[in-house]
Amino acid sequence: MASSHSSHHIHTNRLASEQSPYLLQHAHNPVDWYPWGEEAFAEARRRDAPIFLSIGYSTCHWCHVMEVESFEDEAVAKLLNDWFVSIKVDREERPDVDKVYMSYVQALYGGGGWPLSVFLSPDLKPLMGGTYFPPDDKYGRPGFKTILRKVKEAWDSKRDMLIKSGSYAIEQLSEAMSASSDSDKLPDGVPADALRLCSEQLSGSYDSKFGGFGSAPKFPRPVEINLMLYHSKKLEDTGKLGVANGSQQMVFFSLQCMAKGGIHDHIGGGFHRYSVDECWHAEDADSAETEGAARKKEGAFYIWTSKEVEDLLGEHAALFEEHYYIKQLGNCDLSGMSDPHDEFKGKNVLIERKEPSELASKYGMSVETYQEILGECRHKLFEVRSRRPKPHLDDKVIVSWNGLAISSFARASKILKGEAEGTKFYFPVIGTEPKEYMGIAEKAASFIRKQLYNVETHRLHHSFRHSPSKAPAFLDDYAFLISGLLDLYEFGGGISWLLWAIELQETQDALFLDKTGGGYFNNTGEDASVLLRVKEDHDGAEPSGNSVSAINLIRLASMVAGSKAEHYKRNAEHLLAVFEKRLKDMAMAVPLMCCAADMLRVLSRKQVVVVGERTSEDFESMLAAAHAVYDPNRTVIHIDPNNKDEMEFWEVNNSNVALMAKNNFAVNKVVALVCQNFTCSPSVTDHSSLKALLSKKPSSSFT
């Protein structure tokens, strides 16, 4: 993909003063771009000109293709500048704007994607739209220049009709996407049916050869894993161990296939966003092959020739090449979809296809020695790769995504304590001390509180890059951060995180809750330029704000007592009632909401209360034991009776917990109780006893 640099020193537009790395990439286009805002809208009204709205994001391949082909082209820029007011939007910075016009394009044309290209009236009503347009007419399809001329002609000759149809489309979308419910709870039977139906549909789409659900391209969708694990736990609890085990195996095999595949960065760690083929092998990332190269290539930073590997690794090259399926002609031959444009000829994307034990035996060494050699080899490749031109990095901090990461790190801090003693890790694994994970989670939460939270208004900003963004936070920011803070507390963080979660929930209710119709809108409705307030329910690559909110409310209700708990529960019930039709008809679109609906049906969540001095190692071990067994319908409360703030919090919010702490506190001892249905087990004082208590299984029946 050739990139024209000539225009970069001639043109500078208004995007140069923006924060978003995506907008800054377009700051030197000859197109006279505006950011989304009143300045652009006023200019459109002044000129009585239609708006061209282009929405994309930093790591979007086709967004960059359209930039090079059209937005860096002087002739295209002239048409846009003469006839339109052009606006660029980063969808990650303004998901509310993206939602309006993506919904329009999907409803009108049956599909969508990025870049999103939409033409608007000066009052922001959509006139027509699409996604990527090539610059010139090709294969019987109109090119971007032709589209611009046709829109200009239509605006001049039948403007009233266009505006009328755009207004009607927005009215229809507003009605369809802001469902409400007169009923304040789901009918009996709906949660169980939705959970079962979603599990059956996912099982039916399971790829038994390569793992995962559905066909290529494969996007990791964590909510599918959540649902299958949740449902298998339900089956296990009712004694259906055979079916439960089958669901678990689908999950484990899928995760193992991803870990072995090219979607996993074996050299640097982490995972790519998706795989273009069914076997998790190819991935999508543009970067320059050499420093200063005008042409970016697919995956250049991550791929290797066999000669490069052999020159670097010497005597261990053969072992490494066999382990990672590296071949002289290139290894993107596992699927017809792995390399549809022949971009990887002679190149290799690392993928594991054989078991280490099998290869260690072949090379006459122990598995440990074999893994050590692989780790050393990966380190050598990492050092060389770090000197290559890196793919573009979008380094803005988004609250919602950080909320998800905070959850992961907080959970890992205790779950990883369950690793077998003496487990060895090899490069690129560097963080092997579980406590480090809690430190990272707390550091992220502290950053958001300091930089993106107004302690007076109790409101969040959506993102940060050098300074907070102009955009206020959206539903997902509040919901995902609250979820992260609840995990931060439950997995061992201080009471201040729980207090902040409760505070944020109050703000979320004030800003987004439909108090009469139930459920949460995606934005506050305070920005008149955003034409839709929708109640999102789709659990995609990210969960929906409403699904996460329902679970947050259920968790909060299990921690506090009295009217506050009832209030949380009522809001969760009403929220789920809003999406009754979706749960009945399209359960597979809302896996996490299916889990939430079932959680609400559980009559009494299990509570584990840990009492003791927080600084002791025994306290940490007891908390790890409390989380050692997977149980999504369990709440963990921990309290140090010596801590005045903690005791005050529980005396105000749940006096039973405060009483338990007083009655079970003993110096130099950590005590745990397991409570359910208003009854508590006898207290235990060592972590292995607690783990045994929580591991008790119901009687089994194999089905």
What is 14-178's CATH number? 3.40.30.10
**353-392 residue pLDDT tens:** 999 999 999 999 999 999 999 999 999 999 999 999 988 8
| pLDDT at residue 431, rounded to an integer | 80
Q: Which of 259-273, 624-638, 651-665, 685-699 has the lowest mean pLDDT?
A: 685-699
Helix, strand or coil for residue 644?
helix
pLDDT band at 432; cut points 50, 70, 90: confident
| pLDDT at residue 336, rounded to an integer | 63
State pTM to two decimals. Answer: 0.94
The pairing of beta strand 85-90 with beta strand 34-35: parallel
The neighbouring-strand residues paired with 634 are 606
Does pLDDT of 46 surpass 90? yes
Q: How far apart are CA 162 and CA 136, in angstroms?
A: 25
- For the chain, the distance separating the N- and C-terminal CA atoms, rounded to the nearest angstrom, is 55
Percent of the chain scoring above 90 in pLDDT: 82
| pLDDT at residue 339, rounded to an integer | 58
pLDDT band at 296; cut points 50, 70, 90: low
Identify which has the larger pLDDT, 115 or 339.
115
Q: How far apart are CA 257 and CA 254, in angstroms?
A: 5
Q: How far apart are CA 620 and CA 434, in angstroms?
A: 11
* Distance from the Cα of residue 61 to its chain's centroid: 19
| pLDDT at residue 5, rounded to an integer | 42
Q: Which of 72-76, 430-434, 451-455, 618-622 has the lowest mean pLDDT?
A: 430-434
Q: How far apart are CA 690 and CA 257, in angstroms?
A: 34
Per-residue pLDDT, averaged over 567-594, amounts to: 97
Q: How far apart are CA 621 and CA 83, in angstroms?
A: 67
Least Cα distance to 133 among 86, 67, 82, 58 occurs for 67
CB 166 within 8 A of CB 127: yes
**297: CB partners within 8 A, 6+ apart:** 1, 286, 287, 288, 289, 343
pLDDT band at 135; cut points 50, 70, 90: very high
CB 306 within 8 A of CB 330: no
Contacts 24+ apart (CB under 8 A), 129-134: 129/101, 129/104, 129/105, 130/105, 131/62, 131/105, 132/62, 132/65, 132/66, 133/66, 133/70, 134/69
Phi, psi dihedral angles at 254 (to 5 degrees):
-60, -45
| pLDDT at residue 701, rounded to an integer | 32
Crossing angle of helices 434-451/495-512, nearest 10°? 40
Exposure string over 114-144, b if 16+ CB within 10 A, otherwise e: bbbbbbbbbebbbbbbbbbbbbeeeeeebbb
Tokens matching residue 198: 């979603």
Q: Which of 95-104, 219-228, 328-337 has the lowest mean pLDDT?
A: 328-337
| pLDDT at residue 426, rounded to an integer | 93
Q: Which of 469-478, 515-524, 578-587, 688-697 has the lowest mean pLDDT?
A: 688-697
The neighbouring-strand residues paired with 295 are 2
**347: CB partners within 8 A, 6+ apart:** 299, 303, 304, 305, 330, 332
**Residue that is written with structure tokens 């490749």 in the block:** 381
Topology alike, domains 14-178 and 603-702: yes
**482-535 residue pLDDT tens:** 999 999 999 999 999 999 999 999 999 999 999 999 999 999 999 999 999 999
**146: CB partners within 8 A, 6+ apart:** 136, 137
Which amino acid, residue 215? Answer: S
Q: Return the domain boundaries, the chain.
A: 14-178, 286-386, 603-702
Per-residue pLDDT, averaged over 15-24, amounts to: 96
CB 42 within 8 A of CB 122: no
Superfamily of domain 603-702: Glutaredoxin (3.40.30.10)
Q: How far apart are CA 230 and CA 387, in angstroms?
A: 44
Sign, Cα dihedral of 116, 117, 120, 125 = negative
- Name the H helices within 425-578: 434-451, 475-490, 495-512, 545-557, 562-578
| pLDDT at residue 276, rounded to an integer | 65
CB 474 within 8 A of CB 98: no
| pLDDT at residue 700, rounded to an integer | 37
Angle at 345 between CA 342 and CA 351, to 5 degrees: 105
pLDDT band at 406; cut points 50, 70, 90: very high
